[in-house]
Amino acid sequence: MSGKRSLLERLAAGPVIGDGGFIFALEKRGYVKAGPWTPEATVEHPEAVRQLHREFLRAGSDVMQAFTFYASEDKLTDRGNTAGKKIGVAAINREAAKIAKEVAAEGDALTLGSLSQCPSYLEGKGEAKVKSEFRKQVEVFTKEGLDFLLCEYFEHVEEIQWAIQVCKESGKTVAATMCIGPEGDMHGVSAAECAIRMARSGADLVGVNCHYDPFVALETMRRMKQGLDAAGLKPYLMMQPVAYHTPDAGKQGFIDLPEFPFALEGRIATRWDMHRYAREAFELGVRYIGGCCGFEPYHIRAIAEELSAERGGKMPQGSIKHDMWGGGLTMHTKPWVRARASREYWENLKPASGRPYCPGMSEPDNWAEKKKGHM
Amino acid sequence: MSGKRSLLERLAAGPVIGDGGFIFALEKRGYVKAGPWTPEATVEHPEAVRQLHREFLRAGSDVMQAFTFYASEDKLTDRGNTAGKKIGVAAINREAAKIAKEVAAEGDALTLGSLSQCPSYLEGKGEAKVKSEFRKQVEVFTKEGLDFLLCEYFEHVEEIQWAIQVCKESGKTVAATMCIGPEGDMHGVSAAECAIRMARSGADLVGVNCHYDPFVALETMRRMKQGLDAAGLKPYLMMQPVAYHTPDAGKQGFIDLPEFPFALEGRIATRWDMHRYAREAFELGVRYIGGCCGFEPYHIRAIAEELSAERGGKMPQGSIKHDMWGGGLTMHTKPWVRARASREYWENLKPASGRPYCPGMSEPDNWAEKKKGHM
Amino acid sequence: MSGKRSLLERLAAGPVIGDGGFIFALEKRGYVKAGPWTPEATVEHPEAVRQLHREFLRAGSDVMQAFTFYASEDKLTDRGNTAGKKIGVAAINREAAKIAKEVAAEGDALTLGSLSQCPSYLEGKGEAKVKSEFRKQVEVFTKEGLDFLLCEYFEHVEEIQWAIQVCKESGKTVAATMCIGPEGDMHGVSAAECAIRMARSGADLVGVNCHYDPFVALETMRRMKQGLDAAGLKPYLMMQPVAYHTPDAGKQGFIDLPEFPFALEGRIATRWDMHRYAREAFELGVRYIGGCCGFEPYHIRAIAEELSAERGGKMPQGSIKHDMWGGGLTMHTKPWVRARASREYWENLKPASGRPYCPGMSEPDNWAEKKKGHM
Amino acid sequence: MSGKRSLLERLAAGPVIGDGGFIFALEKRGYVKAGPWTPEATVEHPEAVRQLHREFLRAGSDVMQAFTFYASEDKLTDRGNTAGKKIGVAAINREAAKIAKEVAAEGDALTLGSLSQCPSYLEGKGEAKVKSEFRKQVEVFTKEGLDFLLCEYFEHVEEIQWAIQVCKESGKTVAATMCIGPEGDMHGVSAAECAIRMARSGADLVGVNCHYDPFVALETMRRMKQGLDAAGLKPYLMMQPVAYHTPDAGKQGFIDLPEFPFALEGRIATRWDMHRYAREAFELGVRYIGGCCGFEPYHIRAIAEELSAERGGKMPQGSIKHDMWGGGLTMHTKPWVRARASREYWENLKPASGRPYCPGMSEPDNWAEKKKGHM
């Protein structure tokens, strides 16, 4: 690891590309259970976790994010979850770290350990208890020598501030992303104010992850940036949104859409959506650009391809099997398919759903104030 | 292999479950190039091919289909493809067979080697040349001891008859599926007549694969069955459709839809669509039920779960991480998401696309007779 | 009336343009009740009926169709309808005829009286009773001197044959249109066979009205024409479809769509749809081209404009206020609206519904076999 | 007129119901030209204008709004319009007033004369010239004794203030509605500030008309009300939106949608949308509730039916032909259609467009900043 440039050095040089969503990808592959969404696969099926890491590395990810989402002890034993007892918080986090390091070493990638919101916070157990949950994970991350830490998927700014504080104890670089939208956190704190508080708590990178599609998330980032600029704060900006189109999501994001989590297919973004996302994020000043639920390796590759010039012409390994903008179609048998081998074609296409009995948007459940009138 | 029950024994006992689409899944994972769509990944990245096999095995597939799609020598050297020269037809097919056997042995699965339509046919090179292309692959399959053979993805019944004839030389069980829709093959032969000819050429299983969604494909199967019944022929019925909704596809299937192949996301079927597919296929009398492009492991698992009773109560290994009909959601944090843990909920949902600026259907390219009027 | 060319003379010379739907237009204007759909407005509010006739005349209609839809005595007293008793079948039909004649005289239009299917048929009261119902109307039409007769909106070919026979007694030209789709009548008689029977019963014009949009109706006409051609019969072809897009309608047409009759707005055809309808109908050989429910005067004007060349360059009076293909927009204030003043613009537009929470198609009620799979 | 209660008396007693859109309704009937949109039909075809007035009266309108939209002299001679020269501003306005008075006398309706924005303003001709244009119309209104005046369809608050000032010279009650959306006027003045300025200029009623659907318009009204409340102003609130769903409209409203004006059909609101509109408007405190482009008589009747209780149980005359909430369907022949005779059915229906090849929303032309990402 000694020779690797650090995260901050890389950010100073240009955009850093994150990875995609392990939980959702591994659910589809058969290794994660929807509902609890915990990562015991690191112990149960390390080969599956390792392969997914490799695919993201190949797609251009600069960071191997250890698969420690929701791996706090209280979550691993919550609502009948047996992973916490049978396997244990330490083992799950440790194996995650080992796999991340192993694959990172196959390229030039950094590693990170992440904390997410924990049941103890929602149950009102208080700062000391919540921080102790976080420390159990951070200890492993430190011991395993992961390169930096990430607090991600927090709905309340108060809790993420505690998480940042625990992470800072390690002396490592700390990134912090909340799963909020343009309207701010669940306690009514605005997106701008959330960003300010995360930065003031010591986060070196600040932004959002999960819950919204890239374009809604960009609106949240815009508000965060305005707040940070106004407060004179200059953390790096980071975002890892979901790969599902969510123009109709409400305050809690895609969780509340009726399609969550087993009928989201129609909302999956194309690689071309990701080109646009990468470009718009970069132009806004975001420097850590990755994905969350729904991001598959080819989505990450699209980001890497779009930002190739900004990254010194570097192309992902996986582009050996992908000519930009559909170029591979020139090798197709049918002339009218070969005619689709152009940027203009794919950028202008409005893809049909093949589901004429289904609508374009849904009304979220739990919509405090159901949107009326427009049907 | 000695102890394994043969394909025909299994079919006699109940439904056999196929696997999903390697080409499309591995394209998203970064190992296959869209356009040529050839399977040299068996040599270049065996670990990725092996992992996908394992996922399908875990999802309930009874057959490990060696990844030999489009692996005829003429295709591997077609239109600038270098795989044929650099790696070679024998090596690609041999490694595919080895990986399939390796993973099959981890469970109780059968293996198969497949042939697909080849450029020599379209170029009019004649029966002898086309058959010699097929023999190069069949030799490898025989030498490697694959359990049975499959001729799949043929648009012309004449060519698949030649392929069946070559396969029959091996003495193995032969399955045959064309990529045609209800309107029949590209030379105007009806679906019923295609089925009859495949059966008369010696295919033990007859049906369709690729090009259409399960429900359009079921209509084709219905016509094939009527033809076979009328002719007094009784091959087993087999189908492996795509996982993309294609109510609007024309004579050449999803290839002609403007979204092919890089903007099909909105059309991806849900696991609930697959429950319905499995049930309707079984009721029609189809006994080999699998998938093609777009089928991910979780789609195959849905088929296995739906037909569990018909398979003696057997559940796929992957169902350890999946409670039927959304049951895992009872462990979710939000009460309104827990309320979605029911069959009724998912069966009745009309999932939104999240793309209000996009339509429900597209007009295929190359539509001889563009559908007019309805917009 | 003496100097007017007859219907058959006009048909021999070129396309004759019908009128639009009185029932639906007058329901929106406040003079007809949805449910019974009977035409007592001819007595209650003659000024409203007269004005609508004038609008169709102005739009290019060659025929003023007396507003006698569902004006059989048994229908006027059916299910609590009081019009039959309070006003009476004779008065309603007579006033309808008078208004039609009055407005026809303001131009060069013909007049017609029409019969529709009657409750006595459905109640199984038999040929004699049903024919006696029809005779009550035909007597009025004859006495009032309407130019020709029309049997329209019949779901059973047997009943329309009886109606044609009654009309033939008058010695007048008789037209006959059924409200069936491509699948034929409610007793399972094919569309082709229905056409043949209507022609053999003596109808001079044969075709369809109501229940389906122009493009579904054209498919029915295609089948009717094939049947007639095969049988060596040469009646004129006539069609008056609804102005609502119904690609999803089942065997009973738009009645069964969940939107019928109070939420059909999103399905209303544009004037450009009508250009296409007129052209395709003419090319198929249809010579009496009009509309039914949902057709407003501007829809008829679009037909007249499209077929102007085929009608000797004649343009409807109402085109004083309408430059073809959006030409009037050249006088608009905004440059980007002026840019829409072209045929190419309007022919290629795929108009949005403004209802992102609504689907493109519905499943009909009473669908014997619900279409499954595609959502 | 002596016995009639004045507008302000009526407003004090309960909601007053406006009428619908003459321009669009008469365009479809063949008497108004799309593009210039001027009302010379008052002279050319008074019977058509009179009939439409009667239909609105019958539907429950309390006000007969003389058809004087865009009837300023500079507009009547703008861009090749010949109505100004051939017929003249005075005649057009005078005949409009006469027809309105004639029909109003058939019921208990008030009459109004209206001014709209004029080309002289946009051409920068200044206050004196613009006001002189307005005075030409107001003189006629005063001479004809119309009950009150309305300034409607102004995009710039400055111009409507001048119009209000001219109207105030007459001593009559003055209403003022701008065609702006939630974002305010074309000069960047907020909706709240526009409302305040209209009230301070002397308008007795303040609000919006045209350009947006009822639900977008309600959002504008909400902002206007907040501004007025904060400023301590208490004019009556008035709104007359379009009957086209416009969730996707930009700053200039439905004009900018690609479907304007000849392919808006799919966006037409149902009567049930109007029930909801009426209820929400009343609850917000709006007391003059009417419609603009696209509102047909049955839309107005739905408002009158919804607010019947608030209007002392008064029902519109046209409800003789309309049982509330689909009640007339109990008289339908088919049992599954009779089953639709309920409020619950129609309130919950998400009506399909019958256009599966068309999207739910469009991108407006002239979108300064095209909405990106969501497709």
- D86-115 mean pLDDT: 97
Cβ–Cβ < 8 Å for C26, C49: yes
Q: Establish whether this prediction's ipTM goes over 0.85.
A: yes
Torsion angles phi and psi, residue B16, rounded to 5? -105, 135
With beta carbons under 8 A apart, name residues in chain D contacting C33.
321-323, 328, 331
With beta carbons under 8 A apart, name residues in chain D contacting C54.
47-48
Inter-chain contact C355–D360, Cβ cutoff 8 Å?
Answer: yes
* Residue C331, token pair as written in the block: 């006088």
Q: How many CB pairs under 8 A join A and C?
A: 35
- Residue from the list C248, C354, C358 with its beta carbon closest to the beta carbon of A359: C358
pLDDT for the residue C2: 54
Q: How does C282-304 read in b/e, with b if 16+ C-beta sit within 10 Å?
A: beeebbbbbbbbbbbbbbbbbbb
Residue B186 C-alpha, separation from nearest chain D C-alpha, in angstroms:
26
Inter-chain contact A351–B298, Cβ cutoff 8 Å?
Answer: no
The closest of B61, B75, B72 to B22, measured between CA atoms, is B61
pLDDT band at A365 (very low <50, low <70, confident <90, very high): confident
- C63-75 mean pLDDT: 95
Residue A291 C-alpha, separation from nearest chain D C-alpha, in angstroms:
16
Query: Does B40 reside within a domain?
Result: yes
With beta carbons under 8 A apart, name residues in chain D contacting B359.
356-359
pLDDT in tens, A150-179: 999 999 999 999 999 999 999 999 999 999
Inter-chain contact D280–A218, Cβ cutoff 8 Å?
Answer: no
Chains meeting C at 3+ CB pairs closer than 8 A?
A: A, B, D
pLDDT in tens, A268-282: 999 999 999 999 999
User: Cα–Cα distance between B368 and B250 in angstroms, integer?
Assistant: 9
Inter-chain contact D330–C213, Cβ cutoff 8 Å?
Answer: no
pLDDT for the residue D365: 87
Torsion angles phi and psi, residue D261, rounded to 5? -105, 5
User: How many structural domains is chain D composed of?
Assistant: 1
The closest of D57, D171, D170 to D110, measured between CA atoms, is D57
pLDDT for the residue B79: 87
- Residue from the list C248, C355, C357 with its beta carbon closest to the beta carbon of A363: C357
β-strand partners of D149: D113, D174
pLDDT for the residue A366: 66
Above 50 in pLDDT, residue C372?
Answer: no
- Residue from the list B350, B351, B375 with its beta carbon closest to the beta carbon of C350: B375
Share above pLDDT 70 across residues of chain D, in percent, rounded to a whole number: 97
Residue type at position D294: G
Residue B351 C-alpha, separation from nearest chain D C-alpha, in angstroms:
14
Inter-chain contact A375–D247, Cβ cutoff 8 Å?
Answer: no
HEC-encoded secondary structure of chain C: CCCCCCHHHHHHHCCEECCCCHHHHHHHHCCCCCCCCCCCHHHHCHHHHHHHHHHHHHHCCCEEECCCCCCCHHHHCHHHCCHHHHCCHHHHHHHHHHHHHHHHCCCCCEEEEEECCCHHHHCCCCHHHHHHHHHHHHHHHHHHCCCEEEEEEECCHHHHHHHHHHHHCCCCCEEEEECCECCECCCCCCHHHHHHHHHHCCCCEEEEECCCCHHHHHHHHHHHHHHHHHHCCCCEEEEECCCECCCCCECCEHHHCCCCCCCCHHHECCHHHHHHHHHHHHHHCEEEECCCCCCCHHHHHHHHHHCCHHHCCCCCHHHHHCCHHHHHHHHCCCHHHHCCCCHHHHHHCCCCCCCCCCECCCCCCCCCCCCCCCC
Tell me which H or E stretch contains D151. strand D148-154
Q: Tell me which chain C residue has its CA closest to the CA of residue A353.
A: C375
User: Cα–Cα distance between A54 and A105 in angstroms, integer?
Assistant: 11
Q: How many CB pairs under 8 A join B and C?
A: 48
Q: Tell me which chain B residue has its CA closest to the CA of residue A297.
A: B29
Cα angle A244-A248-A253, degrees, rounded to a multiple of 5: 65
Q: How does B100-111 read in b/e, with b if 16+ C-beta sit within 10 Å?
A: bbebbeeeebbb
Cβ–Cβ < 8 Å for C350, C332: no
HEC-encoded secondary structure of D67-98: CCCCCCHHHHCHHHCCHHHHCCHHHHHHHHHH
pLDDT band at A32 (very low <50, low <70, confident <90, very high): very high
Query: Does B1 reside within a domain?
Result: no
* Residue A245, token pair as written in the block: 């189109």
Above 80 in pLDDT, residue C366?
Answer: no
- Residue from the list D27, D30, D331 with its beta carbon closest to the beta carbon of C80: D331
Inter-chain contact D277–A360, Cβ cutoff 8 Å?
Answer: no
Residue D34 C-alpha, separation from nearest chain C C-alpha, in angstroms:
6
User: Which is it for the CA torsion C369, C372, C374, C375, positive or negative?
Assistant: positive
Report the mean per-residue pLDDT for chain D.
95
Q: How many C-beta atoms surround the C-beta of residue A333 within 10 A?
A: 16
Inter-chain contact B359–C350, Cβ cutoff 8 Å?
Answer: yes
The closest of D152, D165, D170, D172 to D197, measured between CA atoms, is D165
Q: Tell me which chain D residue has its CA closest to the CA of residue B266.
A: D375
Query: Does D2 reside within a domain?
Result: no
- Residue from the list D214, D215, D373 with its beta carbon closest to the beta carbon of A214: D373
Please give the model's pTM, rounded to 2 decimal places: 0.94
β-strand partners of B205: B175, B236
State the alpha helices, DSSP H only, in chain D.
7-13, 22-29, 41-44, 46-59, 73-76, 83-86, 89-104, 119-122, 127-144, 157-168, 191-200, 214-230, 271-284, 297-306, 335-338, 343-348
Residue type at position B230: A
Query: Does D168 reside within a domain?
Result: yes
The closest of C182, C293, C301, C303 to C243, measured between CA atoms, is C293
| DSSP-derived 3-state class of residue D63 | strand
Give the sheet arrangement for strand A148-154, strand by strand. Answer: A16-17, A286-289, A236-240, A205-209, A174-178, A148-154, A110-115, A63-65
Cβ–Cβ < 8 Å for C20, C316: no
Query: Does D257 reside within a domain?
Result: yes
pLDDT for the residue D333: 84
pLDDT for the residue B365: 87
pLDDT for the residue B107: 96
With beta carbons under 8 A apart, name residues in chain D contacting A372.
215, 276, 280
Task: Indicate which CATH number applies to the domain containing A192.
Answer: 3.20.20.330
Q: How many C-beta atoms surround the C-beta of residue C128 within 10 A?
A: 9
User: Cα–Cα distance between D144 and C182 in angstroms, integer?
Assistant: 59
- Residue from the list C79, C317, C352 with its beta carbon closest to the beta carbon of D360: C352
Residue B237 DSSP class: E
Query: Does C2 reside within a domain?
Result: no
| Beta-strand relationship, D236-240 and D286-289 | parallel
Query: Does A375 reside within a domain?
Result: no
Chains meeting B at 3+ CB pairs closer than 8 A?
A: A, C, D
pLDDT band at C285 (very low <50, low <70, confident <90, very high): very high
Cβ–Cβ < 8 Å for B247, C248: no
Along the 375 residues of chain B, how does pLDDT read in single tens digits?
457 999 999 999 999 999 999 999 999 999 999 999 999 999 999 999 999 999 999 999 999 999 999 999 999 999 889 999 999 999 999 999 999 999 999 999 999 999 999 999 999 999 999 999 999 999 999 999 999 999 999 999 999 999 999 999 999 999 999 999 999 999 999 999 999 999 999 999 999 999 999 999 999 999 999 999 999 999 999 999 999 999 999 999 999 999 999 999 999 999 999 999 999 999 999 999 999 999 999 999 999 999 999 999 999 999 999 999 999 999 988 899 999 999 999 999 999 999 999 999 999 986 444 444 444
**Nearest-10 crossing angle of helices C191-200, C157-168:** 20
Above 60 in pLDDT, residue D373?
Answer: no
Residue type at position D227: G
The closest of A16, A15, A19, A17 to A295, measured between CA atoms, is A19
Query: Does B341 reside within a domain?
Result: yes
Q: Is D317 exposed, middle or buried (0-12, 13-18, 19+ CB in 10 A)?
A: middle
β-strand partners of C17: C289
pLDDT in tens, C203-229: 999 999 999 999 999 999 999 999 999
With beta carbons under 8 A apart, name residues in chain C contacting B360.
359-361
Residue A371 C-alpha, separation from nearest chain C C-alpha, in angstroms:
11
User: Cα–Cα distance between D76 and D85 in angstroms, integer?
Assistant: 8
Cα angle C160-C166-C167, degrees, rounded to a multiple of 5: 85
Inter-chain contact A372–D276, Cβ cutoff 8 Å?
Answer: yes
pLDDT in tens, C191-210: 999 999 999 999 999 999 99
For residue B359, cis peptide bond before it (omega within 30 degrees of 0) = no
Residue C223 C-alpha, separation from nearest chain D C-alpha, in angstroms:
23
Residue C66 C-alpha, separation from nearest chain B C-alpha, in angstroms:
30
Cβ–Cβ < 8 Å for C110, C9: no
pLDDT for the residue C371: 42
Above 50 in pLDDT, residue D100?
Answer: yes
Residue D355 C-alpha, separation from nearest chain A C-alpha, in angstroms:
9
With beta carbons under 8 A apart, name residues in chain D contacting B358.
359, 375
HEC-encoded secondary structure of A260-298: CCCCCHHHECCHHHHHHHHHHHHHHCEEEECCCCCCCHH
pLDDT for the residue A2: 55
pLDDT band at D317 (very low <50, low <70, confident <90, very high): very high
Q: Which residues of C touch A (CB under 8 A)?
A: 248, 354-363, 374-375
With beta carbons under 8 A apart, name residues in chain A contacting D361.
360
Q: Tell me which chain B residue has its CA closest to the CA of residue C212.
A: B374
Residue B360 C-alpha, separation from nearest chain C C-alpha, in angstroms:
6
Determine the distance from the C-alpha atom of residue B69 to the mean position of all C-alpha atoms in its chain, rounded to a whole number. Answer: 10
Range of A333's domain? 7-369
Cβ–Cβ < 8 Å for D341, C79: no
Residue type at position D247: P
The closest of B67, B44, B41, B77 to B152, measured between CA atoms, is B67
Cβ–Cβ < 8 Å for C99, C53: yes
Token look-up 């739907």 returns C21
Token look-up 């929602």 returns A122
Length of chain C as a residue count = 375
pLDDT for the residue D366: 66
Above 80 in pLDDT, residue A374?
Answer: no
Share above pLDDT 90 across residues of chain A, in percent, rounded to a whole number: 94
Cβ-Cβ contacts under 8 Å for D247 (sequence gap 6 or more):
A374, C354, C356, D213, D215, D216, D361
Residue D152 DSSP class: E
Q: How many CB pairs under 8 A join A and B?
A: 275
- Residue from the list D218, D359, D373 with its beta carbon closest to the beta carbon of A215: D373
Above 50 in pLDDT, residue C96?
Answer: yes
Report the mean per-residue pLDDT for chain C.
95
Residue C5 C-alpha, separation from nearest chain D C-alpha, in angstroms:
26
Length of chain D as a residue count = 375
pLDDT for the residue B367: 47
Cβ–Cβ < 8 Å for B175, B160: no
Half-sphere exposure of C84 (CA within 13 A, CB side): 17
User: Cα–Cα distance between D375 and D360 in angstroms, integer?
Assistant: 10
Dihedral angle, C-alpha C325, C330, C331, C334, nearest 10 °: 120
Inter-chain contact B361–C360, Cβ cutoff 8 Å?
Answer: yes
- Residue from the list C245, C276, C373 with its beta carbon closest to the beta carbon of B372: C276
Give the sheet arrangement for strand B148-154, strand by strand. Answer: B16-17, B286-289, B236-240, B205-209, B174-178, B148-154, B110-115, B63-65
Share above pLDDT 70 across residues of chain A, in percent, rounded to a whole number: 97
- C78-93 mean pLDDT: 93
pLDDT for the residue D278: 98
Cα angle A250-A299-A238, degrees, rounded to a multiple of 5: 60
Inter-chain contact C360–D361, Cβ cutoff 8 Å?
Answer: no
Q: How does B114-125 read in b/e, with b if 16+ C-beta sit within 10 Å?
A: bbbbbbbbeeee
